[in-house]
């Protein structure tokens, strides 16, 4: 069974009546306002300021006059050559003698055939790499330590690329990585003076390029 609310505690019971009374009062106030105050005076504030007159002047359009082209240059007079300057030209005989014996012209000099030296192909990797006879110690013994490097205390390792032919001779040497102070040149000279055991490919001696480290160390 639903519980009934106490009429004294029910606030919404008087809600509709109060709403109707408030509408009636507001309408009455509006009617009285229109009855006793039918017209509302409006005050308009006029601001007067002095009017400035601006004179508009007519601007004359400027015309750009193009300058006339310069007159053509007068032609250069050509003076006729004087008779004193001309010299008499003697024309030789143009008739050919059929019976005259003509000597043959000398043969041209032989052309020198340019011989292009074919660059030798050096292998990089072979079955048997070339080795210095006596080992790396043989190269180290031939090194002359530069005085400049000694005074400056330059030490390190110089890497030389040596091109060894079929006979074990070093035909060319290049510096791959140097330390300077004259050590690079000394290393190249020592490698060039060293005899190598030639590299072999399939049992035959071939030309090979090999990298050799040269150590410079002060004692």
pLDDT in tens, 40-66: 555 555 656 666 666 666 666 766 677
115-164 pLDDT per residue, tens? 443 456 888 888 888 888 888 888 888 888 888 888 888 888 889 888 98
pLDDT of residue 24: 92
Number of domains the chain is built from: 1
Asked whether residue 177 is assigned to any structural domain, the reply reads yes
Asked whether residue 153 is assigned to any structural domain, the reply reads yes
Asked whether residue 146 is assigned to any structural domain, the reply reads yes
Domain that holds residue 152: 131-216
Asked whether residue 157 is assigned to any structural domain, the reply reads yes
pLDDT of residue 116: 40
Domain CATH number, residue 180 = 3.30.2420.10
Asked whether residue 32 is assigned to any structural domain, the reply reads no
**Predicted confidence (pLDDT) at residue 87 exceeds the cutoff of 60:** no
Asked whether residue 19 is assigned to any structural domain, the reply reads no
Higher pLDDT, 63 or 3: 63
Beta strands in the chain (DSSP E): 131-132, 156-164, 170-177, 196-197, 199-201, 204-206, 208-216
User: What's the N-to-C CA distance of the chain in angstroms?
Assistant: 118
User: What's the length of the chain?
Assistant: 219
Asked whether residue 162 is assigned to any structural domain, the reply reads yes
194/137 Cα distance (integer angstroms): 11
Asked whether residue 114 is assigned to any structural domain, the reply reads no
The answer to pTM > 0.75 is: no
194-219 pLDDT per residue, tens? 888 888 888 888 888 888 888 888 87
Structure tokens at 181: 């102070």
Backbone angles phi, psi at 11, to 5 degrees: -80, -25
170/168 Cα distance (integer angstroms): 7
4/6 Cα distance (integer angstroms): 7
């Amino acid at each position: 069974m639903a519980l009934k609310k106490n009429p004294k505690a029910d606030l919404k019971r008087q809600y509709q009546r109060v709403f109707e009374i408030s509408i009636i009062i507001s309408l009455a106030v509006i009617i009285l306002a229109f009855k006793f105050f039918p017209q509302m005076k409006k005050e308009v504030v006029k601001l007067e300021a002095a009017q400035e007159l601006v004179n508009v002047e007519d601007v004359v359009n400027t015309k750009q006059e193009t300058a006339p082209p310069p007159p053509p240059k007068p032609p250069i007079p050509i003076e006729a050559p004087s008779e004193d300057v001309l010299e008499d030209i003697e024309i030789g005989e143009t008739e050919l003698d059929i019976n005259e014996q003509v000597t043959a012209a000398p043969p041209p000099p032989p052309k020198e055939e340019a011989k292009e030296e074919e660059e030798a192909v050096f292998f990089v990797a072979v079955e048997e790499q070339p080795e210095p006879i006596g080992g790396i110690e043989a190269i180290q013994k031939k090194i002359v330590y530069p005085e400049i490097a000694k005074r400056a205390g330059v030490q390190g390792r110089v890497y030389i690329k040596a091109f060894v032919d079929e006979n074990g001779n070093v035909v060319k040497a290049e510096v791959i990585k140097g330390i300077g102070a004259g050590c690079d040149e000394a290393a190249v000279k020592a490698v060039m003076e060293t005899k190598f055991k030639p590299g072999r490919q399939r049992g035959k001696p071939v030309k090979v390029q090999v990298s050799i480290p040269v150590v410079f160390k002060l004692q």
